[in-house]
């Protein structure tokens, strides 16, 4: 039988060489697999490197390791992924939440703070009524539920065209015990009627069809419909921007995640569809990752 230390050392080398990823990342992945099999915290692995795995544990670990060596995402092997401090159930029916998308949540929370101070002046509602947020293409619900968790007084609606994805999102609502979010099956805005929102966020498909990256890494195991959007990757972004004014309160915000080289084009589309104060925000790698704008006020609509 092998010890925890033996398994970590051998499996780390195997993952690093087979998948061509650095040793640090490989070691973290192996630790995650061992934690899953042994049902322990990382501190336990560090404190008990000499502990031997029994036969059942060895078989379970080796089965997961072989799947990982064939490229299957670690999130699919574990069935969950941490995002914005919360653990979300993940399946092959949804995109895997990624750290880059946390920037979209951070920007949404900033806008909600500014909206909170101005809501009574922007529309005829009771001063204490909650801001309304819409998440388009919610997948696991990571964006919507991170916002709802951070702002329990905000009303969050999330939509997805996929029933399978919505089932995952609804399970995440239950496991996180969030009560201020609801989910609707809808192809973007199609099922929302005349509802209007103070803030709309989306991480839509934005990879161009035929992009070589679709044959590499984790995306090979994710739904293609959640990844690609036309020849230049902008079809869904254009549609969202074009239709969003019909579902935003005046002076409401639209925030969009997009590809590493799409910010300038997204800004241009926003500025031709009634949006002002258009901006792009960089992620930790210095890449313009989120672009947004505010819907023109009634007095400015004709000149925006």
Domain extents in the chain:
4-71, 99-295
**pLDDT digit string, tens, across residues 127-149:** 446 899 999 999 999 999 999 99
pLDDT in tens, 25-73: 999 999 999 999 999 999 999 999 999 999 999 999 999 999 999 999 9
Residue 212: its pLDDT value, please?
A: 81
State how far the Cα of 93 lies from the Cα of 86, in Å rounded to an integer. Answer: 19
Residue 243: count other Cβ atoms within 10 Å of its Cβ: 17
Q: What is the mean pLDDT of residues 237-241?
A: 98
For 72-113, the pLDDT digits (tens) are: 999 999 999 999 999 999 999 999 999 999 999 999 999 998
Q: What are residue 279's phi and psi, to 5 degrees?
A: -150, 165
As a whole number of angstroms, the distance between CA 134 and CA 200 comes to: 5
Could you confirm whether domain 99-295 is CATH 3.40.640.10?
no
Q: Are 218 and 154 in contact (CB under 8 A)?
A: no
The least confident of 1-5, 24-28, 31-35, 257-261 is 1-5
More confidently predicted of 215 and 112? 112
What share of the chain in percent tops pLDDT 90? 81
* CATH T-level fold of 4-71: Helicase, Ruva Protein; domain 3 (1.10.8)
Average pLDDT over the chain reads 92
The total of other beta-carbon atoms located within 10 Å of residue 79's CB is 12
Is residue 183's pLDDT more than 60? yes
Helix (H) or strand (E) holding 220: none
Mean of the pLDDT values across residues 254-265? 96
Count of other CB atoms within 10 angstroms of residue 104: 26
Distance between CA atoms of residues 197 and 108, nearest Å: 13
pTM of the predicted model over 0.85: yes
**pLDDT band at residue 125 using 50, 70 and 90 as cut-offs:** very low
The angle formed by the CA atoms of residues 59, 25 and 289, to the nearest 5 degrees, is 130
Contact, 150 vs 128, CB < 8 A? no
Residue 239 has pLDDT above 60, yes or no: yes
């Amino acid at each position: 039988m092998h010890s925890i230390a033996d398994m970590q050392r051998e499996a780390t080398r195997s993952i690093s060489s087979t998948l061509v990823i650095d040793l640090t990342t490989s070691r973290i992945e192996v630790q995650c697999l061992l934690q899953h099999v042994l049902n322990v915290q990382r501190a336990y692995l560090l404190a008990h490197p000499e502990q031997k795995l029994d036969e059942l544990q060895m078989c379970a670990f080796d089965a997961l390791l072989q799947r990982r060596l064939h490229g299957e995402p670690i999130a699919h092997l574990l069935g969950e992924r941490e995002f914005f401090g919360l653990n979300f159930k993940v399946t092959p029916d949804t995109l895997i939440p990624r750290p880059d998308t946390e920037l979209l949540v951070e920007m949404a929370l900033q806008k909600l703070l500014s909206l909170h101070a101005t809501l009574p002046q922007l529309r005829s509602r009771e001063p204490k009524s909650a801001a309304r947020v819409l998440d388009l293409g919610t997948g696991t619900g990571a964006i919507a539920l991170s916002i709802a968790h951070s702002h329990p007084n905000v009303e969050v609606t999330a939509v997805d065209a996929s029933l399978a994805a919505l089932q995952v999102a609804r399970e995440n609502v239950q496991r996180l015990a969030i009560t201020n979010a609801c989910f609707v099956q809808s192809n973007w805005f199609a099922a929302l009627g005349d509802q209007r929102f103070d803030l709309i966020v989306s991480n839509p498909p934005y990879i161009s069809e035929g992009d070589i990256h679709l044959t590499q890494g984790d995306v090979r195991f994710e739904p293609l419909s959640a990844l690609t959007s036309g020849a230049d990757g902008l079809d869904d972004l254009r549609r969202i921007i074009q239709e969003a004014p019909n579902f935003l309160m005046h002076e409401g915000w639209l925030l969009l995640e997009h590809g590493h080289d799409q910010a300038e084009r997204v800004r241009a589309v926003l500025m031709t569809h009634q949006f002002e104060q258009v901006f792009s925000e960089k992620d930790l790698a210095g890449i313009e990752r989120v672009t947004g704008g505010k819907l023109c006020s009634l007095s400015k609509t004709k000149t925006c």
